[in-house]
Amino acid sequence: MTLPIAVLVSGSGSNLQALIERVESGALDARIALVLSNKPEALALERARACGIKAVALPHADYPDRAAFDAAMVAAIRQSGAEAVVMAGFMRLLTPVFIHAFPGRIINIHPALLPSFAGAHGQRDAANYGVAISGATVHFVDEIMDHGPVVIQAAVPAYPDDDAASLGERILAMEHRILPQAVQWLATGRLSIEGRKVRLRDAGLPKAVVEGALVNPPLEQGF
Ligand code: GAR
């Protein structure tokens, strides 16, 4: 079974690229049915089109309010046949209109170890705070920003000389590993949500170290 997914983007689309590569390598049992951006100039749209993937811009300013914008996105996603939604650097809050359209089928990547440093500047806020460890989180999306149940996290070191860019680069490398892995677990029906907890069926060893990062649940073959 191949899961048709929609990928929501706002920026450069490096996480989208990581998904495309894992689909092409055969590791990821998903098909990217649609890439949607609220920003017409997003490089992510070009990346998608270069790979023959349908990519559409819906500028949020064209809609009277968030709910109307979300309803337009839901319509486009339904039309594409996508059954799950991956937020890969999508910098807009979703309203209940969107969230209730795909219950338990929306995941987001965030560049910090939630619940620390939620919001639009996770890397910068962690670097400025002076934490010694930060990382990335993939979580199910609920109605509260950066809040839903956690699927996978990767922890990376942070150093006193880090700024948003240097810490962000270290985090991004792990984002590119854990997001496709999380989508694969979703695509193969191995995730179940129990309140705030996400259970992964047939998980491997309880922890894994990948390129100096601690990743849990551990990455599997191909990710
Ligand atoms: C990623 O670091 C992602 O975690 C972050 O935006 C970046 C997008 O990069 N998302 C958020 O901050 C959401 N709150 P990309 O366009 O190269 O994938």
137-178 per-position pLDDT tens digit: 999 999 999 999 999 999 999 999 999 999 999 999 999 999
* Domains of the chain listed by start with CATH number: 1-103 (3.40.50.170), 110-138+151-223 (3.40.50.170)
Pick from 76, 156, 68: which is nearest to 112 by CA? 156
Residue 188 near residue 199 (C-beta atoms within 8 A): no
Residue located via tokens 């929306």: 106
Mean pLDDT for the chain overall: 97
Catalytic residue of the set 110, 139, 147, 176: 110
| Residue 139 annotated to the active site | no
Q: Is the CB of 37 under 6 A from ligand 1?
A: no
Across the range 4-22, mean pLDDT stands at 98
Of 41, 110, 117, the one to substitute when testing ligand 1's pocket (max ligand atoms within 8 A of C-beta) is 110
The best mutation among 172, 174, 179, 183 to test binding of ligand 1, ranked by most ligand atoms within 8 Å of the C-beta, falls on 172
The answer to whether residue 206 scores a pLDDT higher than 70 is no
**Quick one: three-class SS letters along 146-175?**
CCCCEEEEEEEECCCCCCHHHHHHHHHHHH
Written as one letter, the residue type at 55 is A
Task: Evaluate: CB of 116 within 6 angstroms of ligand 1.
Answer: no
Q: Average pLDDT for residues 8-30, to the nearest whole number?
A: 98
Q: Give the ligand 1 atom nearest the CA of 121.
A: 12
pLDDT at 135 over 90: yes
88 lines ligand 1 (CB under 6 A): yes
| pLDDT over threshold 70, residue 111 | yes
* Average of per-residue pLDDT across 212-216: 93
Give the C-alpha distances (Å, rounded to integers) separating 29 from 32, 180, 183: 10, 10, 9
For residue 203, the CA-to-ligand 1 centroid distance in Å is: 26
